[in-house]
Chains A and B, each alone.
Chain A
Amino acid sequence: KNEVEQSPQNLTAQEGEFITINCSYSVGISALHWLQQHPGGGIVSLFMLSSGKKKHGRLIATINIQEKHSSLHITASHPRDSAVYICAVLTSGSRLTFGEGTQLTVNP
């Protein structure tokens, strides 16, 4: 079993829909990253959080440390949001352990 599990693996939505991607982890962490990866490979850090909730534009990330769970929400989704979204946890030694990613496709 992977230390970081994401669901769903694939997600297709219509433009304007509210989207949720979930991340569960089984190890102790100091923080959690949500990352976005577009075709071609480059990774962009969306959020780093260790408690509570963060919001940036249409993106919202929450984390529940006790339940070892985090969610990434996208409101009013748009085709340009289509990408792979990756959850990564920061463990001891300041290394990142990644989930397998969620492929999001938003259709117009």
Chain B
Amino acid sequence: DAGVTQSPTHLIKTRGQQVTLRCSPISGHKSVSWYQQVLGQGPQFIFQYYEKEERGRGNFPDRFSARQFPNYSSELNVNALLLGDSALYLCASSSNWGTEAFFGQGTRLTVV
């Protein structure tokens, strides 16, 4: 079975641009969460979706948005990119509420 897949793996964007990151959860998993990991730090929670509804949002500005589709895949959108948005963006899926999380390889975003 395929694990959590994220695309693209690497991305370079210019300040002010918009970016969309994609995540496909493990088949049958209904929950998807997004995390931002700045170099040298632990990941920080951005969003959680369960059964296509937003169930939690971290302390991130409104430039960050996300959604979950009927097939449980998810997109993370970031508008008006800043240099400080450069980070590894991780997606995690779990089969149900509160169950073990499985992570994708991440998307490394560089804003120049």
B residues in contact (CB < 8 Å) with A: 31, 33, 35, 37, 41-45, 48, 50, 55-56, 58, 88, 90, 92, 94, 97-98, 100-106, 108
Residues of A within 8 A of B35 (CB): 96, 98
A-B contact count (CB 8 A): 67
Q: Show 26 residue pairs from A and B whose CB-CB distance is below 8 angstroms, ordered by the A residue.
A: A31-B98, A31-B100, A33-B101, A35-B103, A41-B90, A41-B108, A45-B100, A45-B103, A48-B100, A48-B101, A88-B42, A93-B55, A93-B56, A94-B55, A94-B94, A94-B97, A94-B98, A95-B33, A95-B45, A95-B58, A96-B35, A96-B43, A97-B45, A98-B42, A98-B43, A99-B42
Secondary structure class of chain A's binding surface, majority of residues: strand
Interface: A42 (CB within 8 A): yes
| Smallest CB separation, B26 vs chain A (Å) | 12
Closest CB of chain B to A104's CB: distance in Å? 15
